[in-house]
Amino acid sequence: NKQVIFRDYVNGFPKDSDMFLTSGNINLKVPEDSDGILVKNLYLSCDPYMRLLMNHIPSQSVFTAYTPGSPVTGLGVGKVLDSKHPDFQEGDLVWGTIGWEEFSLITTPQGFFKIQHTDVPLSYYTGILGMPGLTAYAGFYEVCAPKKGEYVFISAASGAVGQLVGQFAKLMGCYVVGSAGTPQKVDLLKNKFGFDEAFNYKEEPDLNAALKRYFSQGIDIYFENVRGKMLDAVLLNMRIHGRIAVCGMISQYNLGEPEGVCNLMSIIYKRVNIQGFVAAEYYHQFPKFLEVVLPYIRQGKITYVEDIVEGLENAPAALIGLFRGQNVGKQVVVVARD
Ligand code: NDP
């Protein structure tokens, strides 16, 4: 059983050597006295929150930190090879939190979802049909409370979550602008995901001016993925009674001390509603979410871009790449295809 092991707590920007590959034996049967499942891992999801688990003390108690010397864990898709649990059978396809390894023994599979619809790519259950998809869905429809015709801005817009938020917003009849970090991503936003406008924030000397260019009337909804200078510029451009859904703050995850935000008075002047949210609180909505999103995929109303890397050994670099903007779309690692 090849495994990616977490070496030790990380300060600052993570390195490949913070994780290493080992190989050992594993019994491919669930022990008799357990009601667990044995999963052959197929697709691993690389998610920004995983960096927070590498800190000695997690910034919030929502998650538990990784244990040095143990496998990295994350969301992923797998196939059940053996089961002593009444809800799962050999051959079932599932997704949930697995180890970064070829095979995972899951002792408490209660948090696992069975995959029923296989007419779409299986890897989608790490992205559009998994946690990032639900994040986009709950974050946009519930937290942003959007109305037709509103002005929507999304940062890290071409990523796993952002590309979907933008497409949901277009389906709702909003005016949608996204920011991303390369010309290729800007092109995707405009020409593949149907955003009205997009810009490369790394090429903008003045983010406030850039936002004024696209939002002469101001922003009704900001879907926040990054924080940093972008949040400060957005605060200056919010409309009265605008809403900010705080999904993530990726620009801060590798900093020991988070950066300050300067323009908070705008929250008062513009009466802005700022709400944070976590996807886990919406997991009960998965069936409803799939009913909405699967038809959109099948009818071609929503498209999804994935960045697929082959091989467990390449998983650490893929994860770290998220913090350099290396991924184009949802970052997935293939461990095995079936
Ligand atoms: P992405 O697929 O968007 O990958 C991360 C992207 O973030 C990179 O490609 C890069 O894009 C951008 N980025 C990286 N570093 C910086 C930086 N310093 N400043 C600005 N942008 C940066 O990731 P996800 O879609 O999976 O996640 C997006 C956000 O949503 C994250 O903040 C994540 O933590 C959050 N999240 C929150 C959840 C919740 O429950 N609240 C659930 C899931 C995700 P670019 O090239 O455009 O800079």
The pLDDT tens digits of the residues spanning 288-305 come to 999 999 999 999 999 999
Closest ligand 1 atom to residue 163 Cα is: 25
Burial of 208: CB neighbours in 10 Å, binned 0-12, 13-18, 19+: middle
136 near 165, Cβ under 8 Å? yes
> Alpha-carbon distance 102 to 94, whole Å?
15
Least Cα distance to 307 among 199, 193, 194, 158 occurs for 158
CA of 249 to the centre of ligand 1 (A): 7
Tokens of 207: 């983010």
Q: How many CB atoms lie within 10 A of CB 44?
A: 30
Tokens of 209: 């001016």
DSSP lists the bridge partners of residue 82 as 38
Closest ligand 1 atom to residue 132 Cα is: 43
331 near 46, Cβ under 8 Å? yes
Least Cα distance to 220 among 199, 242, 202, 235 occurs for 242
> Alpha-carbon distance 145 to 109, whole Å?
34
Closest ligand 1 atom to residue 156 Cα is: 47
What is the model's pLDDT at position 332?
Answer: 98
The pLDDT tens digits of the residues spanning 226-279 come to 999 999 999 999 999 999 999 999 999 999 899 999 999 999 999 999 999 999
Calculate mean pLDDT across residues 14-23.
Answer: 97
Q: What is the ipTM of this complex?
A: 0.99
DSSP state of 139: I
Residue 81 phi/psi, 5-degree rounding, is: -95, -30
208 near 184, Cβ under 8 Å? no
Percent of the chain's residues with pLDDT above 90: 96
Residues in the chain: 338
Tokens of 191: 């020409």
Pocket test for ligand 1, best of 126, 128, 161, 253 (most atoms within 8 A of CB): 161
CA of 160 to the centre of ligand 1 (A): 8
The response to whether residue 30 sits with its C-beta less than 6 Å from ligand 1 reads no
Least Cα distance to 53 among 21, 23, 24, 19 occurs for 19
234 near 213, Cβ under 8 Å? no
DSSP lists the bridge partners of residue 192 as none
